[in-house]
Structures are given as structure tokens and as C-alpha cells.
Structure 1
Amino acid sequence: MTTSLRRHDAAGIPSLTGGLAALYELCYAAPPWSETPEQIAGFPRRLAEAAARPGFAAWTAHDGDDRLLGVCYGWPTPADRSGDPFYAMLTGALGAGVVAGLARDAFEVAELCVHPGARGRGVGRDLLEAAVAGRPTAWLITSPEAPAARLYERLGWRPVAPLPGGPGAGLPLSVYARTTAARPDSTEPDPARPDSAQPDPARADPARSRELSSPAV
């Protein structure tokens, strides 16, 4: 199967929203996520909010007939995270030092979705590698019970620390990170080392952590 990847910035997202929403439903309505119709219906709004973030970038995969096979998108973690409840949740769960290590020169992978009929063909791998290419650190949130977790681990991603389960499905969630280069000048904990985290999941609000999860690929 011939597959091509395309890169998109925020300006290209409105024309893709319909196709991406249909793909999202295919990925998240099924187990293990089993999202409700209300959660699925909220995807276009969340996508628009994501596209408004500075540095947002998306990659889509298409077959030879131009059918959409998958998408991966995210943004650079902002240097100023004050006032954002999501980063406050992470800090409460992981500790300020671990979050600082995650955030330094990092790219957040917000979504990775692959059409069920295209899984097992390297589409998810190619999308993820394109998204994080050249990034010293990348991170995401997913469930260790999701099939995608095995892909991340094969590609060198490591679980950092657990988070509270997302709403609805009740799946356990974990932060995964990949560091591609040593940073000897840094005194911050290495985000790719599980023993560097000091999680306190009881203090975290799970509501937004689910929005950074990735399904099976």
C-alpha cells in the first residue's frame, strides 16, 4: 500500500475537520476508549482549540486514492504554563521538576489516530516519527492498556508516571516521553526515566488529561 504524509498548520485544519472527526469517531467510539456520543461530538471544538495553540502542526496519512488513513498533531510545550489548568494538573500529579523536564524544548503529541483498516502497516509509526522529528523531547498521555502503548515503547518512548483515569472509560493513564539527546547542562529530572517522577495522582484533575490520549494505531 502506498502511503503519503502531509504536513498542515492551523490554517489548513478547517477544511480537514469533517474527515478528522469521522476518523476520530472510528478510533474512540470502540474499546478500549468507548467514548460517549457527547464526547465524540466535542472533537471539532477541541481540534479548533488545539489548532489555535502557538506552533500547532498536524500530519495526515493518505493512501494512493487520497483516502485519509491517520492523523497526528500537537504543539510545542509553552515556556509560560502559568494559569493553564492542564499543566497545573500535571504539576500536581508529577511534581514541578518532572514537568519542567518534560516541557523543555518539548513537543506534545495531542492525538494519534489511525483508521482501523490501516493499522499494522506502519502508518502510526510514520506519523509519530514525522511529528517528533528533530525534537529533543516529546511526550504524550495514553493508557498503558491501549495497543498504542506497545508502539510507543518499541519506538523508544518510556512511561514516566501514572495519572488518574479519564472520564467515561475509566482507563488508567500514563505520561510517556522520549528524549532523543542527552542534556548534560540540565539539573531537571530526565522525563524518560520512570524513577525520576514523584506522582501524586490523587491531586490531579483527569478531565483534560484524556484530551491528550492516543488510541490504538
Structure 2
Amino acid sequence: MQTYGADVLGIADELTEAYVEVFTAPPFAHRDPGETRIAFRKRLDSDALRDGFRAWIERSEDGGIAGFLTGWRTQAPFRTDRSYGSVLDRLGREQVEALLIDAFEIDELGVLRSARGAGLGRRLLDLATEQEPRAWLLAWNQNHATLAFYRHAGWTEPEPRGPEHDIVVFLAPTHPRG
């Protein structure tokens, strides 16, 4: 397993292709691979420069990327772009500040189809939370297998304060819960 900071940009094309493979397959088959490629690469170029950015990459025996996890430390003020507005609406400002600000946000976790079933996703999560115990992530509420995976791994949902959205917030089992 290799750990990266901003130097992940040296393998950005390879990581982007791995991301596209994972996030255009079911249940994300509705996503256009070309648009997904462009959007992820653009985000990676800026995310890799965030304060506290880290990436963990596991390679297969043939040297290709088998799985990846990326994230960074969530800064104040809490963002409202992408799905962050829904998080704020669901949890409320007080909980967001107590639970998520200055915690490690796992932005992307992906395991390529050829590497699934061997515990790689769990190992990536465990490694990240071993180094960053106060961690959190978002998952799409229609990705039932992923929701079950996180729950089985001990990740929990903070008490909601607002309406349900299409995202689910999870806190790591190691998170002290504010």
C-alpha cells in the first residue's frame, strides 16, 4: 500500500481511469464515463492541494491500481457545494462543526472489480482511520451494498436534525463523536 500527498498528481491519469472504472459500473452505470473522467480529474487536480490531503493506493500483482482511498481534513467554514449543503441541512450547523470540522473526510473509496471480495475496501478504511481516527464520509442512499458495507464495518450515522437527503453521512468507528 502506498501513501500519497500532492504527489498523487504524478499518477493522476492512472487514478482517474481506476475511478472511472469503479464509478461508472453499477449502481453508477447511469454516469457517462467521459464526463466522469473530466469531472474527477478536475477535482483531483485541486483536491490534491488541499490541507491534509492523503491518498492510499493498493496495486494488484500486475502493477495496476486495485483500490484507492482519498481524503483530507475538513476545514471551516463548511462548504455548501457538491453534497455539502445537504449534509448541513441534514445534521445542522452545530453537529457539522462538532463532528466534521477538522475531521478527516474520506472523499473517495474505490475497489476495482478484479480486486473485490478480498477485504481491500476494509483494509483501506482501517488504514485511513488508524492514521486519522476522527473520520467521516458520505454515501449515496441508493447504493445499498455500500451502505451495508459501512454499517458492517462499524461506521455509524450521526443523529439527524433535518430532512432526509440522497446522501448518508457516516462517522468512523474510531470517531469520538464530538
Greater C-alpha Rg: 1
Partner amino acid, structure 2, of 1:81: P
Alignment-derived partner of residue 156 in structure 1: 154
Alignment-derived partner of residue 16 in structure 1: 11
SS at match of 1:49: helix
Partner amino acid, structure 2, of 1:153: R
- 1:121 matched to 2:115? The reply is no
CA gap 1:107/1:73 in 2 versus in 1, 3 angstroms: same
Q: Do the aligned partners of 2:56 and 2:70 also contact (CA within 8 Å) in 1?
A: yes
- 1:30 matched to 2:28? The reply is no
Partner amino acid, structure 1, of 2:51: P
Give percent identity, aligned residues only. Answer: 31
How far 1:179 moved relative to its partner? 4.5
Structure with the larger RCO, 1 or 2 (CA within 8 Å, 6+ apart): 1
CA distance in 2, matches of 1:149, 1:174: 8
Partner amino acid, structure 1, of 2:41: P
- 1:107 matched to 2:104? The reply is yes
Higher share in helix: 2
How far 1:119 moved relative to its partner? 0.6
RMSD: 2.1
Partner amino acid, structure 2, of 1:122: G
How far 1:63 moved relative to its partner? 2.2
Partner amino acid, structure 2, of 1:32: P
Superposition map of 1:1-217 within 5 A? 5-10=1-6, 12-34=7-29, 35-36=31-32, 37-78=34-75, 80-81=76-77, 84-86=79-81, 87-146=84-143, 147-160=145-158, 161=160, 164=165, 172-180=166-174, 182=176, 190=177
Partner amino acid, structure 1, of 2:153: L
How far 1:140 moved relative to its partner? 0.6
Q: Do the aligned partners of 1:70 and 1:112 also contact (CA within 8 Å) in 2?
A: yes
CA distance in 1, matches of 2:41, 2:119: 26
SS at match of 1:64: coil
Q: Do the aligned partners of 1:72 and 1:109 also contact (CA within 8 Å) in 2?
A: yes
CA distance in 1, matches of 2:45, 2:95: 29
Unaligned runs of 5+ in 2: none
CA distance in 2, matches of 1:104, 1:18: 30
Give the TM-score normalised by structure 2. Answer: 0.84
Partner amino acid, structure 2, of 1:55: G
Q: Do the aligned partners of 1:104 and 1:137 also contact (CA within 8 Å) in 2?
A: no
Unaligned runs of 5+ in 1: 165-171, 183-189, 192-217
Partner amino acid, structure 1, of 2:2: R
